[in-house]
Structure 1
Amino acid sequence: MTSAVKPSTLKFAAIGIDHRHIFGMAQNLIAEGAEFVGFYTEGTPEPLEGFIKRFPTVPRAKSAETFLNDPSIDIILLAGVPCDRAGWAIKSMIAGKDVLSDKPGCTTLEQLNDVRACLAQTDRIWSINFSERFQVPSATRAAELVAEGAIGKVVQTVGMGPHRLNRATRPDWFFDRQSYGGVLADIASHQVDQFLFFTGSTDAEVTMANVGNYANPADTGLQDFGEMSLRSDAGHGYIRVDWYTPDALPNWGDGRLTILGTEGYIELRKYVDVGGEEGTDHLILVNGDKCEKMRALDAGVPFFGRFLEDVRNRTETAMTQAHALKVCELALQAQELAEERFK
């Protein structure tokens, strides 16, 4: 990567705020000392009103090129319509910016190949906010416990990513397969990231993949269920994602992760503990010495500070570039495999 020295206060701008993940992406960078200098988005996407309330002093630009042509801006955040993110990432990197994209970073393997080529050409950083790990303190604590050897060698992850449909707030692109990329390419990228990370895998094989639309037949472009399995030389993984979260649940989804090791296991109840304690970030640890449940809110979310340091120092401490590319590749391969069977 290039060795140009970056200023201590990094500046970032956002292109596209069509997904509410932009809130956490921006707020966490601000909390780590970066300066939010502006945003551009087309039309009036649903998150716009809340975005303006949360970031009232951040100006809206008339065009995205305003940021691409500004040499003082170091980082571009991308949270537009998913199928547009890879194109803006490439434009941003060619303009000399590093990129932090909402997931999915790509919606096709062709887009992924274009991003790879751009990375080789520009030597920039293309990172993806896998929020179900990077914005979850219990995942941080789980990573610490795994690194300490608390459950031995990790041999399997089981990741569950249920979501609430919230039909009334969804834009048209949400129901258009070509726009959002498919349920595995989109949501399951979170769980693919966690599988690779916790098993220490750098590559894997998709051994099973399925998608379906079982509850929303009138929305022919929507996939409301997906599952996939992964196998690497380090371990195995099973992933299930869906849009079936019932209205009675007090959160958008009962996201869980089970990490199985040779000497114990960890279960994360990330957002809600049904029938248990209130709040988020519940972690269960069972091994030869402990059988306990703990809260992990104090573990923090170090990704964003590390990402800024990587931008300054041209390092890869937050997430390696190879990891980001591999997550997208596997999720997209699973999507293609599933759709061959879904036809």
Structure 2
Amino acid sequence: MTLSCVALGLDHRHIFGMTENMKKAGVSCTGYWTQGNPSSLSGFTKRFPDIPRLDGLKDALNCGADLALISAIPSERADLSIQAMQHGMDVMTDKPGCTTLDQLDQIRKAVSDTGRIWSVNFSERFETPVSTKATELVAAGAIGKVVQTIGLGPHRLNRATRPSWFFQRDRYGGILTDIASHQIDQFLHYSGSDTAEIVHAFVANHANPANPGLQDFGEINLRSANASGYIRVDWYTPDALPNWGDGRLTILGTEGYIELRKYVDVGGAEGTDHLILVNADTCKKVHAADAGLPYFSRLAEDIQNRTDTAMEQAHCFTVMDLALRAQEMAETQ
């Protein structure tokens, strides 16, 4: 069985990786639809010149594809996801998968009613081979029982290239809903937690007073039955850094620790996907760029077999629920 996908909304560059990785997993892309001409459109057509633009959303929804790839404006992703599921498609959406708790409730109902898969591409885990390697090491007991994670998600603002919706709170969803959903996903995944309590949540605009709708700093403290987690996200990446952000994750276990330097190793080795492992027998840095990205092929298999191996549906719902509730807590306390 050959699977096909359609892209709905090209408002964020994450659609590039979503499309490319599904193509590598053997899924063909039959076309794309997007509202207007977002800034990422030219990059998409350059990378995928063979993918045609469809005349309208109705045509895209009725194209017969198995999977919808959604990277529209964040506040519009829930409605597109629901429409796609109602038209018989499974869904992979860019994060955040939705921007309100009401939207999440509607998505839950659509999944229940249609039996389709709703998957959020948490790319800071699913598109970094070093995260795959860390998963293998944690599962093998390399650092004992995981008791804490520290997730850092700094990003470059790139003000000049940002669309207007990027600075509008109701459209992008807030910094914790958006960026911190990555780190919540990683906390639950590596600690083996089904859910967590939000102990503390905070957002601020420290450096961009001309854009009051932008939150440029956020933090969360989480606690589950077996672990705790700290998350910090921001839009402060300095110009001298060679990429968009020095994203890191530290996983603390009872018998050692792992640090992921995903995108850059400042002052160290070149390239990406650097892993530090320290335990009773090992103290070394591992280059993990060849560890693979199993999420995409597993999702393709889940679509074919109606299984739940790429990411459990309950996990996906829980991540977004926690991100939205942390955002709400930070803005109302």
TM-score category, normalised to shorter length: over 0.9
Counterparts of 1:63-212 in structure 2, within 5 Å, are 63-71=56-64, 73-212=65-204
CA distance in 2, matches of 1:164, 1:9: 38
Instruction: Answer yes or no: is 1:242 the counterpart of 2:268.
Output: no
Q: Which residue of 2 aligns with 1:5?
A: none
1:38 to 2:34 alignment: no
Corresponding letter in the other structure for 1:126: W
Spell out, residue by residue over 1:115-151, the C-alpha distance to the aligned partner (whole angstroms, 9 max, x if none). 0111111110000100000000000000000000000
Rounded to whole Å, the distance in 2 between the matches of 1:158 and 1:256 is 8
Deviation at 1:156, TM superposition (A): 0.6
Task: Give 1:9 shift.
Answer: 1.2
**Alpha-carbon shift at residue 67 of structure 1 (Å):** 2.3
- What letter corresponds to residue 114 of structure 1 in structure 2? Q
- Which residue type is aligned with residue 103 of structure 1? K
CA distance in 2, matches of 1:233, 1:261: 15
Q: After TM superposition, what 4+ stretches of structure 1 lie above 3 angstroms from structure 2?
A: none
Q: Give me the whole-angstrom Cα distance separating, in 1, the residues matched to 2:55 and 2:193.
A: 43
Q: How far 1:303 sits from its partner (Å)?
A: 0.4
Task: Provide the C-alpha distance between the structure 2 equivalents of 1:215 and 1:40, rounded to a whole number of angstroms.
Answer: 36
Q: Aligned equivalents of 1:127 and 1:120: distance in 2?
A: 14
Gaps of 5+ in 1: 1-7
Match of 1:10 among 3, 21, 37: 3
CA distance in 1, matches of 2:274, 2:240: 20
Look up the match of 1:27. Answer: 20
Tell me the amino acid that sits aligned with residue 228 of structure 2.
H
Q: Quick one: which amino acid aligns to residue 233 of structure 1? A: A
- Give secondary structure in 2 for the equivalent of 1:334: helix
Name the aligned partner's letter for residue 213 of structure 2.
Answer: G
Q: Which residue of 1 aligns with 2:273?
A: 281
Q: Which amino acid aligns with 1:281?
A: D
Deviation of 1:62 (Å) = 1.4
Question: Does residue 1:62 correspond to 2:37, yes or no?
Answer: no
Unpaired runs of 5+ in structure 2?
none
